[in-house]
Structure formats: C-alpha cells, structure tokens
C-alpha cells in the first residue's frame, strides 16, 4: 500500500492509517485523498467533511474509503465530519458519477451543483458558517398555491387507457420508458396525477419535472389538491433557505413527490418508482453553461438505474423521442383528442409579404397608429373577441421595447461593449400596463440592455459618435406590443409576461391568476406562456412573427419552430368555447408553417426525418460541440485549430473515417462577456466521439493557457 511514497509521506502515513477520498466543489478531475484521524467514528459515504486545502478550510463530501494513496503527495487530515447520515441515497451517487463521466464535467463540481446552495462550499466564510451549523435545512416554510379550479371528475377513454398502461408498468417495478403523445388539451396532467397516486399506493416515490419555473405554481397547486403536503418544490426561483428545506424534506422522506425544473433530476429521492418529464421536447431541459446536462436524457438514465417507469409527455414530441418510440425503444401512448367539450382551434395564416407589397405601392393609407406588427386580420379578430367578452393572447418570442437603437445620421448602432450584440431598449419592466400610464411611458428614456451579459446602460438621447439628436429605434418586443395594444383598444386591460417580469414572482403569479379569472383581456408574452397554462376564456391566439426562429443557424430550427407554434396555438379553446389562431408570417409556404396550421405532427415528423437522414443529423448521428473562448481572438483561433488538427490526426491513425470534425469556426455571436468564441463540431457515432473528447480533455490540461476556457457540450442544442 505504501510503496513508492517519498520519505516525508512515509513519516506522515503509518501502517493501518485509514484514508478517504473526498469530493471538493472545485475543478479537480479526481477526488482528493485525506487521512481519517477518528478512531471512534467511521467515515460516512455522502456526509459533509470539513477539510484543509492549502491555507484555508473548505466543505467537501466523503466519497469512499480507500487503501490507495497518491504518490509523492503529503496527505492532510480530515478536520471534522459534519453529518450523521449521507446527503444522498446510495443509487444517486452512481447516477451522479455516470452524469459526470458522460458530460465530461468534474465529479466534485457535479455534486456541488446537485446540492442546494451552501450545503458545501469552497469559500472561506461560507465554509465557516456551514461548519458552525448556522446554515441548516428546515428553517423556512414554502407555501404551495391552492388550486381552486376543478379537475376533471371523470376520465376520457384515452385517459383511462393511458393510466392503465402506465399503471401496468408501475406494477412491474422495472425500467420502462413511455412516450405519452397527447395533443394540447388532451388532459395529460390528469394522467400524471393519477399515475402518481398509483405509484404511491405501491409504496414508491415520484419525480415530476417541468421545463419552466413559471409552470410550477399551477402544477403544484393541482398536485396539492390530491397529495396535500407530500410535495416538495425544487427550482432556482426559490430562496436558498427554501431550496435547502425542500431538498431536506425529500431526503428525510417527509415529502414523497418532487416537483421542479431540470435541477430536480438530482433530487435525493429514495425508492423512486415514477419519473414524469412534462413537455419533454422543451430545450429548457438542457443546461447551457457549466454542467451541460440534459435533464430529459438523464431522467431515462436515472429511471434505468432505479428500476422506475419514465413517462415523457408532450403534445409535440422531440424528433429524437418520437423516433425511438417508432423504433420500439419506448412504449408509445397516443392521446389524439382533447378532453370532452373541447376541440383544436382553427388556424388562419396571414401572409405579411402581400401587406408589405401593398404598403410599398401606396395602396394603403397610413393610419393614426401604423403598427407594423398588427395585420388587419388580427386586428379584426381581436375586436370581435373583445366584443364577446373573451380573452386574447399575443405571442412574440422577443422581449423589450425595441430590438436595437441607431443613429440615422452617421449609422452608429448602439452595441454592448462586452458582447458582439446590439442593445435592446427597455422602457419599463412592469407586467400590468394601464392606459393612463402611456403618456408617462413615452417620456421615459428607459435603459439599453444586453440580453447576453445582462449589462444595462442609460438610453442616451444623442448619438455618442456624431452627437446627432435624431436617434431612432427599430423592431419591437413584448413591451412595445403590450403598450401599443392599448392604443388600438383603450378600453381593454393588458398584461405582459416574459423574463423581465418573471423576476417578480408574486406579481407573475398574480397576473396569471387574474388572467385565468378573466380580469385581464389580453396577455402578451414570450415562450413562457406557450406551454402548460390553461385559461378557460382564452379563445384567440395571435402569433405576431411565426417564422422568427425558423432560419436560425441550428439543425433543429424547424423542429423548435413547429413545437413553439403548436404549443402556443394549443392555448386557445381548451374548454367549450371554440378557439382561433391568427398566424402572421413572411414564409407561408414553409413546410413547418403549413404542418403547424394543420396540427399535423406526424406529417412534420416524416418530412423532417427525411431531411435529417440525408444530412446525417440526429437521430441518425450524435453531436459534440467543443467551445473555446478567450480575451485574445487570434490566440483562441490558433488553439482551436491546433486541437481540431490533433483530433483529425488521431482519427487518421486509427482509421476512423465516419466521424466528421467540422471547424473550427467563429461562433455566430462572436464575443460574449469580453471573450471571443470559436467552436469545433464533432459528428458521428457516440463511441468515436467519446474517444475524441478524451483526447481533447488531455490537450486541455496539457497545452491550453489559463486564459483560454474550453467546454465540451455533449448532445448540444444551441450553436449560437
């Protein structure tokens, strides 16, 4: 055991000395080994330890007891063990280890991100507070909303069939992946609730995931009606104390059901029997920084490790999931009809090309309020809807008031100093807008905001380049739509929901509740309002710019657009009243737009799959995106080229021809947060891609200077 150690270490470690490997919340590739000095206590795998590191103390996790000591290293002693029980169930350790290896992320950092804030820490002051016991779970209480609307007292035939199939899988108590493909409004949530009941009756616990924080309140309220206080909420919108408390309720078994966003996949639930991934297609399940995991994919892995039934639910399944279901890898449950009394809305396409041609030819007179986002067809539909005392939802996946500000005299465009993007103009981040406030808003200069780094700047009345006074704005976002809606419809009430208003959670929930009760006539919002919400009096959905995301430089742009349009269209007419959708587009002939209009997912899937097979895009291959960034553009470009060249040489020697190394190329958004970015895309089979990632990791440690950051993104969804 002690062979190869130097003299200083031999003096430190005596025969029979117990050693433990510890995980630290730092970028170490492997656990660090420490001496266990306590004779009267055993090390507890998963307990927190107070550890010395250089000249400070930090909080780590006991990973395992070991007999092997690293060579040429003088070991230090554990200072104290802080817990009497492990923080994680045993199976969750294996799951975290798998996720760390698959996504090429240090295990210590992965465990740190799986835990609530300040459970472990490398910061000196936080470590001291944790060690002293001043940061403890169980000191705050989270009040769940009470859902007052009635759930369906009886199930439709399709719902009953879905519940029975899921129940059969639950009784088998083995891994069983199921794709629940139910059109919007078919009653999938009621199926989830009944499945959770059956799971608890079998003595097992549940995990229910949603893609957005905004969806948790409504779903938690509905679950609370059936499960009272056996629910724990897990998402980043809670306070640190609330997150610690909810997490601890799951660990101790006080709560039987975890409900949350993507981070809830790491919830410390024992005896897991059911995992539900609602809106499984949503890209929000993919984390785009640091630990770049996909919670939907990890749900399948955790279900396999725990012997649990995994239900992936969606009205517009991802191409990948539906492909696996068609191949028999997942069981497919299809719910084709809405709940009794509701039908899918009619969809009308408005070709905005013709309108623009007419404007250029002067066929239309300029009106008092010439709103570029409002077509005559949508205006008429809104008027009729408001006359019937029904509600309107306007969707635009762009926040802010104007998309950019420029000087017409010299052409200067206001850009972020740290990022290669234009600044958006924001006038007021308030959800509810009143007509008497419009004049005041017009006098407000507002701020210029970067949507990438978050920096804000005062909106200057003059051009900083030529000092011109005629600074202008172009484009529109949700803020402008909401304000100008009141110009045409001054007797209506309007509210706005996007990321700018989400920060005020109480106001956010208040707005949703008011709209659900019919106290607000029109709701304007981004993709946050496209899924999961049920508004009984909403009969008109206006899609302002349907093709905005269609031509993004990403392989899945058509898929995302189809899902987004179908989901937002599905908000209309979910109960007895007939729904209508007005879809404004400059690309009416696109197959994505056409299939969206017909609610034809199967037709879209067939067309999209044909195109992907020709190009060998997922699911016919796998992607890994390697991103490098640094303050010096030429240096980042040089090292990116060197890494790509080394990987090509490795594949050439191994005779691997099918795997493609594309790039390096500069990212579409060249500079973010003062760092220039290049990317290398690897396309091929997973086995060869992982070989390449191993080589890249070695190069990262061996040749890259500290100024250049390299991140490996396995199964990427975002290439911008």
- Interval 539-561: pLDDT, tens: 999 999 999 888 888 999 999 99
Higher pLDDT: 312 or 140? It is: 312
DSSP alpha helix (H) spans, 473-555: 478-488, 499-502, 505-517
Task: Read off the pLDDT of each residue in 508-535 and give the average, rounded to a whole number.
Answer: 84
Q: Tens digit of pLDDT for each residue in 438-480?
A: 655 666 678 888 888 888 888 777 888 888 777 887 888 888 8
- Tell me the CB-side half-sphere exposure of residue 187, using CA atoms within 13 A: 28
Reported as a single tens digit per residue, the pLDDT across 235-290 is 988 888 889 899 999 999 999 999 999 999 999 999 999 999 999 999 999 999 99
Q: Where are the domains of the chain?
A: 7-132, 157-335, 346-401+476-613, 622-714
At 624, give phi and psi (nearest 5°).
Answer: -135, 130
- Which CATH number describes the domain made up of 157-335? 3.40.50.300
**For 576-591, what is each residue's pLDDT tens digit?**
788 899 999 999 999 9
Instruction: Centre a 10 Å sphere on the Cβ of residue 519 and count the other Cβ atoms it contains.
Output: 12
Query: How big, in percent rounded to 5, are the helix, strand and coil portions of the chain?
Result: 35, 20, 40
Higher-confidence residue: 420 or 713? 713
Whole-angstrom distance, CA of residue 430 vs CA of residue 432? 6
Pairing of strands 622-630, 675-684: antiparallel
CATH class of 7-132: alpha beta
The mean of the pLDDT values for the chain is 87
Q: Tokens at residue 342, please?
A: 């509701």
How far apart, in whole angstroms, are the C-alpha atoms of residue 562 and residue 606? Answer: 13
Kindly tell me if the per-residue pLDDT of 141 is higher than 80: no
Q: Does residue 394 register a pLDDT over 50? A: yes
- What is 622-714's CATH topology? Alpha-Beta Plaits (3.30.70)
The tokens of 111 are what? 């465990």
Write down the pLDDT at residue 424: 87
Residue 536 has pLDDT above 80, yes or no: yes
Domain 346-401+476-613: assigned CATH number: 3.40.50.300
Q: Could you count the other beta carbons within 10 Å of the beta carbon of residue 599?
A: 20
User: pTM (2 decimals)?
Assistant: 0.91
Q: How far apart are CA 275 and CA 277, in angstroms?
A: 7
pLDDT band at 1 (very low <50, low <70, confident <90, very high): very low
Residue 183 per-residue DSSP state: -
- Per-residue model confidence (pLDDT) at position 359: 60
pLDDT at 136 > cutoff 90: no
Summarised one tens digit per residue, pLDDT across range 282-298 is: 999 999 999 999 999 99
Enumerate residues 6+ apart whose C-beta is below 8 A from 649: none
Torsion sign (Cα): 81, 84, 88, 89:
positive
Cβ atoms of 525 and 497 closer than 8 Å = yes
157-335 shares its CATH topology with 346-401+476-613: yes
């Amino acid at each position: 055991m002690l062979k190869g150690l130097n003299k200083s270490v031999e003096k430190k470690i005596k025969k029979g000395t117990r050693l433990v490997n510890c995980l630290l919340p730092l970028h170490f590739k492997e656990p660090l080994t420490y001496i266990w000095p306590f004779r009267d206590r055993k090390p507890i795998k998963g307990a927190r330890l107070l550890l010395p590191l250089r000249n400070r103390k930090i909080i780590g996790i006991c990973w395992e007891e070991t007999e092997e000591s690293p060579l040429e290293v003088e070991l230090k002693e554990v200072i104290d063990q802080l817990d009497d029980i492990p923080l994680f169930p045993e199976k969750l350790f294996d799951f975290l280890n798998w996720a760390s290896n698959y996504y090429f992320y240090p295990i210590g950092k992965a465990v740190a991100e799986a835990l609530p804030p300040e459970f472990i820490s490398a910061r000196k002051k936080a470590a001291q507070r944790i060690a002293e016991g001043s940061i403890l779970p169980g000191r705050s209480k989270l009040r769940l909303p009470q859902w007052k609307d009635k759930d369906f007292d009886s199930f439709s035939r399709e719902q009953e069939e879905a519940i029975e199939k899921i129940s059969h899988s639950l009784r088998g108590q083995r891994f069983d992946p199921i794709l629940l493909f139910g059109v919007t409004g078919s009653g999938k949530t009621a199926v989830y609730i009944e499945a959770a009941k059956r799971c608890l009756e079998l003595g097992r616990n549940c995990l229910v995931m949603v893609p957005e924080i905004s969806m948790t309140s409504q779903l938690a309220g509905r679950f609370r009606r059936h499960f009272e206080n056996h629910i724990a909420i897990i998402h980043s919108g809670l306070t640190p104390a609330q997150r610690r408390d909810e997490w601890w309720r799951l660990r101790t078994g006080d709560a039987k059901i975890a409900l949350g966003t993507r981070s809830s996949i790491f919830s410390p639930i024992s005896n897991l029997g059911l995992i539900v991934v609602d809106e499984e297609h949503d890209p929000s399940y993919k984390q785009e920084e640091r630990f770049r995991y996909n919670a939907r994919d990890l749900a399948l892995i955790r279900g396999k490790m725990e012997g649990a039934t995994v239900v992936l639910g969606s009205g517009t399944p991802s191409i990948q999931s539906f492909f696996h279901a068609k191949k028999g890898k997942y069981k497919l449950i299809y719910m084709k009809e809405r709940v009794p009394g509701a039908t899918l809305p009619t969809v009308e396409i408005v070709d905005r090309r013709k309108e623009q041609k007419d404007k250029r030819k002067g066929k239309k007179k300029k009106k008092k309020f010439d709103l570029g986002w409002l077509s005559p067809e949508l205006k008429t539909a809104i008027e009729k809807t408001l006359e019937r005392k029904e509600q309107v939802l306007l969707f635009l996946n762009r926040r802010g008031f104007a998309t950019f500000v420029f000087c017409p005299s010299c052409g200067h465009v206001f850009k972020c100093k740290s990022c290669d993007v234009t600044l958006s103009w924001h006038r007021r981040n308030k959800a509810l807008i009143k007509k008497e406030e419009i004049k005041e808003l017009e006098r407000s200069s507002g701020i210029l905001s970067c949507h990438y780094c978050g920096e804000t700047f005062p909106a200057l009345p003059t051009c900083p380049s030529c000092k011109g006074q005629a600074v202008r704005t172009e484009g529109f976002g949700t803020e402008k739509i909401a304000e100008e809606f009141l110009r045409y419809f001054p007797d209506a009430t309007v509210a706005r929901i996007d990321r700018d208003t989400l920060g005020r959670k109480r106001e956010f929930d208040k707005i949703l509740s008011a709209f659900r009760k019919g106290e607000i006539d029109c709701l304007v919002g981004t993709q946050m309002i496209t899924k999961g919400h049920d508004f009984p009096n909403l009969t008109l959905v206006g899609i302002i710019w349907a093709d905005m995301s269609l031509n993004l430089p990403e392989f899945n742009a058509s898929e995302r657009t189809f899902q987004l349009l179908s989901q937002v269209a599905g908000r209309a007419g979910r109960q007895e009243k007939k729904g209508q959708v007005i879809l404004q587009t400059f690309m009416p002939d696109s197959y994505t737009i056409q299939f969206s209009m017909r609610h034809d997912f199967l037709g879209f899937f067939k067309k999209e799959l044909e195109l992907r097979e020709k190009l060998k895009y997922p699911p016919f291959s796998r992607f890994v995106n390697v991103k490098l960034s640094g303050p010096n553009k030429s240096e980042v470009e040089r090292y990116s080229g060197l890494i790509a060249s080394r990987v090509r040489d490795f594949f050439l020697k191994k005779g691997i021809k099918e795997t493609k190394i594309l790039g390096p190329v500069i990212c579409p958004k060249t500079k973010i947060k003062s760092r220039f970015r290049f990317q290398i895309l690897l396309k091929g089979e997973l086995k060869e891609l992982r070989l390449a990632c191993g080589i890249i990791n070695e190069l990262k440690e061996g040749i890259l200077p500290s100024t250049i950051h390299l991140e490996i993104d396995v199964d990427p969804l975002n290439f911008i």
